[in-house]
Amino acid sequence: MSQDVIQIKATGTLEIEALQDDGVTVLDLSTIVPDATNLKIVCNGPNGEIVLFDGASTPPVVFATDGADGIFRVIILPTDIIIEGPWQYQGFAKTPAGEEYRSAKFDFEAEDNLPES
């Protein structure tokens, strides 16, 4: 499930919904990507910021289940999204043979937290 709004400097989840190879057929990632290290989620911020999440990220990009449903996600940390404004993110999968698949782009708004007093 994609989010429309996330709080800056907060923990949350970005999820790629059912990666498809032709815009219709859901990719069974468990059969074409040996593990989540070949998955990426790229976020583009309002001022040209780029935040990359992959298998080497902390925390890493992971399958939402076993990968058969084409869904993968990353937990974002308070230091990841720190600028208010409109953001986009997109998922990428690369097979060992070098084939690349991209998800649709998803939009979200990063908003500041409410004041404490």
Q: Is 58 helix (H, G, I), strand (E, B) or coil?
A: coil
Q: Identify the sign of the CA torsion 100, 103, 107, 110.
A: negative
CATH number for 49: 2.60.40.10
Q: Is residue 117 part of a domain?
A: no
Do 73 and 16 form a contact (C-beta atoms < 8 A)?
yes
Task: List the pLDDT tens digit at each of the 117 positions of the chain.
Answer: 345 888 898 888 888 888 877 777 888 888 888 776 789 999 999 999 999 998 787 788 888 888 889 888 899 999 999 999 999 999 998 888 888 888 889 999 999 988 887
The residues facing 92 across adjacent strands are 40, 102
Asked if residue 14 belongs to a domain, the reply is yes
**Range of the structural domain that residue 56 is part of:** 5-111
> Virtual CA dihedral for 64, 65, 66, 69, nearest 10 degrees?
-80
How many separate domains does the chain show?
A: 1
- Structural domain includes residue 26: yes
Q: What is the pTM of this model?
A: 0.85
Among 41, 54, 56, 55, residue whose Cα is nearest residue 87: 41
